[in-house]
């Protein structure tokens, strides 16, 4: 199968250079990649419902007879609507199609078909819009649905996959050694590939998914283990490590025990004979920035440079100001570099970096531009690491000659999972908040309480505080008409409830200057209420704002909600987070209540893991590893544990994967981890 990854997709009939570009867009430029492009869903025609019993608003299959003639209706130029009635012994449905003459002609009056689509019930009427249908002779079919892109429809991908399948050799070499397959009851690769695309039945589909998920996780585990063993390099930037007391004396507060412990863990790394590769996990507000500052100070005092990369200009500026303040009384040259830095200034900064005049540089992606060079870069730090891809983080590290690498993350991951996902780095956890932090009172309410909440916000503002209001959208679109959009919402607040107050608006489509301008106004309390999208999720620090209102809270993940809540409760004032949701789903309500019950990010992550399975953590690509297509959807942690055990077993028997039985596995790992010898995953 491995060699199919070298065979261009154009080899397939009907794929020319134009279509090749489309396949490339969906990450399938080769035959092998196409076979590994798994369907996003299936149309299961194998178990049709009776119309009366069919669920509402979820995709399902029904078996029905065409019981009327097709009626054609020209709605406007270029838009024709077709209506037809279908029925079984329990009820009938009005079906609508648009512009699909060729397909709809196949629906012959009096004949029976299987229809797949969503049923809508409006009063006593039942309707279906543009269902897919097949003759009943195909009744056992489970059809794959692929994520399509403009110009490349699911059925075209399906046809290509069918062709590609014919190129699979009879005996496909399986990367999972046979004894492992037997031990964990996994089916072989050929069976899995066939059945993930064209399942013979639901059981076979299940087995195929299980096996392919296992394979992804096994590859991940093995790749990470090998990376970890190659990650460690001889330390070229050994520090003295005696500067911490001096650093502490520069602060206006004392460090928490957790901060001191984590700083020590990092200092010990940088003093040792190996390069540091460490992840710091610390809940929002736990004080990661000051830890970063301490380490920068150490490296600078030992004569080297440090670089800190953050995902937004707002955050870069905030860190820069914080560093400036701490280091105001000592001789440390700190510089800010972002996309808005003037060209002339950038030129100067480049020179000063290259000649070693700058000790600490704080910036955005600009730091990894090709034309940036350092003279003696000893430490690179990536803050809010999940916002960066692995190659961006690696690029920052490649600006030096194997510098120490630190990444910081505020997205807590349950310990069990972190050990697995971050198998290639050491982990430090800041599990303590700076003193004086109050619990943020958190409430879940429905929208009928909105006006009462506005009153409450007014009261807080009148006491001098500020508020955030977060909405899921920037502007309304047709498909999301029931969600609240920031632009119109801000407008409404300005002209209604909050006429006498300053309401600001910030969202991701604004450019960096606009965002900075709004943020600085908010920081100066020239804006009382900031209506925003999740752009404020990352790191923003305005201690005077004490209330966070989240509209359509059910649209956000638990960790995201927790991050948003972390924007308040950063100063000395009592703070509140209010989530509005009208969701009736029991699962959603349970999830949202979990946020109300605790302020501890790790507990919330544990709860999320229990409720939604590990897929969310793996799928969010925080690790920046090979794409986990199926494992990202996984609901059950057991496969992950099995894969971890299997990986340990394989590597303890054959650490270099040099035995014959592991040859295919080794080739697969090499394909998936092309940078395996360069190290630097974090």
Number of residues lying near Mg ion (CB under 5 A): 1
Q: Which is nearer to Mg ion, 95 or 280 (by Cβ)?
A: 280
**What residues numbered 266-285 form the site for ligand ADP, per CB under 6 A?**
282, 284-285
CA distances to 94, 113, 540 from 133, in Å:
14, 6, 51
Start-to-end CA span in the chain (Å): 30
Containing H/E element for 540?
A: none
* 377: phi then psi, degrees, rounded to nearest 5: -75, 115
Q: Are 189 and 175 in contact (CB under 8 A)?
A: yes
Q: Which is nearer to Mg ion, 199 or 539 (by Cβ)?
A: 539
Q: CA–CA separation, 257 vs 250, rounded Å? A: 17
Choose the binding region for ligand ADP from 95-103, 171-179, 286-294, 529-537 (rule: CB under 6 A): 286-294
Q: Are 314 and 515 in contact (CB under 8 A)?
A: yes
Q: Which is nearer to ligand ADP, 252 or 496 (by Cβ)?
A: 252
Q: How many CB atoms lie within 10 A of CB 38?
A: 19
- E strands, 475-528, in order: 503-506
Pairing of strands 277-282, 360-363: unpaired
CB of 616 to Mg ion, least distance (A): 22
Considering only the C-alpha atoms of the chain, give the largest distance between any 2 of them, rounded to a whole number of Å.
89
Q: CA–CA separation, 638 vs 643, rounded Å? A: 9
Interface characters, 201-240, with ligand ADP (x: CB under 6 A) = ----------------------------------------
Is 566 near Mg ion (CB under 5 A)? no
**What residues numbered 429-448 form the site for ligand ADP, per CB under 6 A?**
434
Q: How many CB atoms lie within 10 A of CB 143?
A: 20
Is 290 near ligand ADP (CB under 6 A)? yes
Q: Which is nearer to ligand ADP, 323 or 454 (by Cβ)?
A: 323
Is 539 near Mg ion (CB under 5 A)? yes
Nearest by Cα to 623 from 348, 360, 309, 409: 409
Please choose which of ligand ADP, Mg ion, none residue 504 contacts, taking the beta carbon within 5 to 8 angstroms, the exact cut-off set by kind.
none
Please choose which of ligand ADP, Mg ion, none residue 373 contacts, taking the beta carbon within 5 to 8 angstroms, the exact cut-off set by kind.
none
**What residues numbered 15-54 form the site for ligand ADP, per CB under 6 A?**
none
CB of 634 to ligand ADP, least distance (A): 29
CB of 286 to Mg ion, least distance (A): 9
Q: Which is nearer to ligand ADP, 71 or 251 (by Cβ)?
A: 251
Reading the block at residue 433, the tokens are 């908040």
Q: CA–CA separation, 294 vs 243, rounded Å? A: 9
Please choose which of ligand ADP, Mg ion, none residue 284 contacts, taking the beta carbon within 5 to 8 angstroms, the exact cut-off set by kind.
ligand ADP
Q: Which is nearer to ligand ADP, 294 or 558 (by Cβ)?
A: 294
Q: Which is nearer to ligand ADP, 276 or 290 (by Cβ)?
A: 290
Hey, is 501 helix, strand or coil?
coil
Q: Which is nearer to ligand ADP, 472 or 539 (by Cβ)?
A: 539
- C-alpha count within 13 angstroms, C-beta hemisphere, residue 133: 27
- Cα–Cα–Cα angle for 636, 637, 641, rounded to 5 degrees: 140
Hey, is 235 helix, strand or coil?
coil
Given 181, 288, 387, 395, the residue binding ligand ADP (CB under 6 A): 288
Nearest by Cα to 127 from 43, 51, 76: 51
Number of residues lying near ligand ADP (CB under 6 A): 17
Nearest by Cα to 404 from 211, 229, 269, 241: 269
CB of 282 to Mg ion, least distance (A): 8
- Residues facing 49 on adjacent strands: 62
Please choose which of ligand ADP, Mg ion, none residue 619 contacts, taking the beta carbon within 5 to 8 angstroms, the exact cut-off set by kind.
none
- C-alpha count within 13 angstroms, C-beta hemisphere, residue 367: 33
Q: CA–CA separation, 433 vs 578, rounded Å? A: 22
Q: CA–CA separation, 200 vs 654, rounded Å? A: 36
Nearest by Cα to 251 from 287, 299, 282, 286: 287
Given 30, 141, 235, 256, the residue binding ligand ADP (CB under 6 A): 256
Pairing of strands 277-282, 132-135: unpaired
CB of 292 to Mg ion, least distance (A): 9
Q: Which is nearer to ligand ADP, 260 or 340 (by Cβ)?
A: 260
Q: Which is nearer to ligand ADP, 33 or 262 (by Cβ)?
A: 262
CB of 539 to Mg ion, least distance (A): 4
Q: CA–CA separation, 649 vs 654, rounded Å? A: 9
Is the C-alpha dihedral spanning 615, 41, 220, 400 positive or negative?
A: negative
Q: Which is nearer to ligand ADP, 286 or 532 (by Cβ)?
A: 286
Choose the binding region for ligand ADP from 11-19, 31-39, 251-259, 297-305 (rule: CB under 6 A): 251-259
CA distances to 447, 457, 458, 461, 483 from 452, in Å:
10, 9, 10, 14, 20
Q: Which is nearer to Mg ion, 298 or 318 (by Cβ)?
A: 318
**What residues numbered 324-363 form the site for ligand ADP, per CB under 6 A?**
none
Nearest by Cα to 67 from 87, 50, 82, 49: 87
Q: CA–CA separation, 489 vs 500, rounded Å? A: 16
Choose the binding region for ligand ADP from 136-144, 146-154, 248-256, 524-532 (rule: CB under 6 A): 248-256
Given 154, 225, 235, 259, the residue binding ligand ADP (CB under 6 A): 259
Is 311 near Mg ion (CB under 5 A)? no
CB of 563 to ligand ADP, least distance (A): 9
CB of 402 to Mg ion, least distance (A): 26
Taking CB positions, which residue lies at the least distance from ligand ADP? 287
Q: Which is nearer to Mg ion, 4 or 523 (by Cβ)?
A: 523
Distance of CA 69 to the CA centre of its chain: 48
Q: What is the DSSP string of 347-382?
A: HHHHHHHHTT--SEEEESGGGGSTT---SSEEEEEE
Given 507, 565, 570, 644, the residue binding ligand ADP (CB under 6 A): 570
Interface characters, 399-418, with ligand ADP (x: CB under 6 A) = -----------x--------
CB of 525 to ligand ADP, least distance (A): 16
Residue in this structure with the two tokens 């047709």, named with its chain if needed: 478
Please choose which of ligand ADP, Mg ion, none residue 431 contacts, taking the beta carbon within 5 to 8 angstroms, the exact cut-off set by kind.
none
CB of 542 to ligand ADP, least distance (A): 10
Q: CA–CA separation, 33 vs 45, rounded Å? A: 27
Q: Which is nearer to Mg ion, 39 or 539 (by Cβ)?
A: 539
CB of 150 to ligand ADP, least distance (A): 40
Q: Are 118 and 59 in contact (CB under 8 A)?
A: yes
Distance of CA 77 to the CA centre of its chain: 42
CB of 419 to Mg ion, least distance (A): 23
Choose the binding region for ligand ADP from 49-57, 262-270, 287-295, 372-380 (rule: CB under 6 A): 287-295
Is 465 near ligand ADP (CB under 6 A)? no
Please choose which of Mg ion, ligand ADP, none residue 287 contacts, taking the beta carbon within 5 to 8 angstroms, the exact cut-off set by kind.
ligand ADP
Given 9, 160, 255, 643, the residue binding ligand ADP (CB under 6 A): 255
The residues that touch Mg ion, with contacts defined as CB under 5 A, are 539
The residues of the shown chain that bind ligand ADP, judged by CB under 6 A, are 253, 255-256, 259, 282, 284-290, 410, 434, 539, 541, 570
């Amino acid at each position: 199968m491995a060699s199919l990854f070298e065979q261009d997709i154009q080899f397939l009939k009907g794929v020319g250079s134009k279509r090749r570009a489309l396949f490339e867009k969906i990450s399938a430029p080769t035959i092998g990649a196409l076979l590994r492009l798994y369907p996003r869903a299936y149309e299961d025609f194998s178990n049709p419902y009776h119309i009366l019993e069919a669920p509402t608003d979820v995709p399902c299959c029904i078996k029905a007879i065409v019981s009327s003639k097709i009626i054609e209706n020209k709605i406007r130029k270029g838009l024709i609507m077709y209506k037809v009635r279908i029925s079984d012994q329990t009820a009938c449905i009005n079906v609508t199609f648009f512009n699909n003459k060729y397909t709809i002609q196949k629906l012959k009056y009096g004949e029976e078909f299987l229809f797949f689509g969503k049923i809508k019930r409006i009063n006593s009427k039942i309707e279906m819009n543009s269902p897919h249908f097949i003759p009943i002779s195909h009744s056992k079919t489970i059809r794959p649905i692929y994520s399509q892109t403009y110009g490349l429809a699911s059925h075209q991908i399906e046809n290509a996959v069918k062709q590609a399948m014919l190129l699979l050799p009879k005996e496909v070499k399986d990367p999972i050694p046979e004894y492992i397959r037997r031990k964990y009851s996994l089916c072989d690769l050929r069976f899995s590939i066939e059945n993930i695309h064209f399942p013979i039945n639901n059981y076979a589909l299940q087995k195929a998914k299980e096996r392919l998920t296992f394979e992804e996780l096994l590859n991940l585990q093995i790749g990470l283990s090998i990376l970890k063993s190659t990650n460690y390099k001889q330390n070229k930037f050994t520090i003295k490590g005696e500067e911490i007391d001096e650093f502490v004396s520069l602060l206006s507060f004392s460090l928490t025990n957790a901060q001191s412990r984590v700083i020590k863990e990092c200092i010990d790394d940088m003093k040792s004979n190996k390069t540091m590769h460490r992840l710091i996990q610390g809940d929002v507000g736990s004080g990661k920035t000051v830890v970063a500052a301490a380490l920068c100070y150490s490296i600078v005092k030992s004569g080297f440079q440090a670089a800190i990369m953050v995902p937004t200009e707002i955050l870069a500026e905030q860190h820069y100001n914080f560093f400036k303040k701490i280091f105001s009384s000592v001789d440390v040259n700190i510089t800010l570099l972002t996309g808005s830095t003037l060209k002339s200034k950038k030129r100067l900064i480049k020179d000063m970096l290259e000649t070693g005049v700058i000790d600490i540089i704080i910036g955005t992606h600009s730091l990894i531009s090709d034309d940036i060079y350092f003279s003696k870069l000893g430490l690179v730090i990536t803050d809010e690491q999940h916002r960066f891809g692995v190659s961006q983080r690696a690029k920052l590290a490649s600006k030096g000659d194997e510098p120490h690498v630190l990444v910081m993350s505020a997205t807590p991951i349950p310990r069990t999972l972190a050990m697995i996902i971050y198998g290639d780095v050491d982990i430090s956890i800041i599990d303590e908040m700076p003193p004086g932090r109050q619990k943020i009172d958190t409430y879940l309410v429905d929208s009928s309480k909105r006006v009462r909440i506005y009153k409450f916000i007014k009261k807080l503002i009148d006491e001098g505080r500020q508020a955030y209001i977060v909405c899921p959208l920037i502007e309304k679109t047709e498909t999301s008409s029931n969600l609240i959009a920031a632009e119109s919402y801000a407008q409404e607040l300005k002209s209604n409830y909050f006429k006498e107050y300053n309401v600001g608006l910030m969202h991701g489509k604004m450019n960096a200057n606009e965002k900075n301008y709004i943020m600085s106004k908010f920081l100066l309390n020239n804006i009382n209420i900031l209506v925003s999208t999740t752009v404020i999720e990352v790191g923003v620090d305005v201690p005077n704002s004490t209330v966070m209102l989240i509209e359509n809270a059910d649209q956000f993940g638990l960790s995201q909600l927790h991050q948003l809540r972390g924007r308040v409760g950063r100063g000395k004032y009592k703070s509140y987070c209010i989530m509005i949701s009208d969701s009736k789903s029991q699962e959603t309500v349970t999830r949202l209540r979990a946020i109300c019950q605790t302020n501890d990010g790790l507990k919330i992550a544990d709860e999320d893991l229990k409720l939604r399975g590990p897929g969310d953590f793996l799928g969010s690509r925080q690790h920046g590893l090979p794409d986990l297509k199926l494992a990202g959807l996984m609901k059950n942690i057991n496969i992950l544990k099995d894969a971890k055990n299997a990986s340990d077993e394989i590597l303890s028997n054959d650490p270099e994967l040099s035995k014959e039985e592991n040859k295919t596995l080794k080739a697969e790992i090499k394909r998936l981890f092309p940078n395996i010898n360069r190290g630097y995953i974090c």
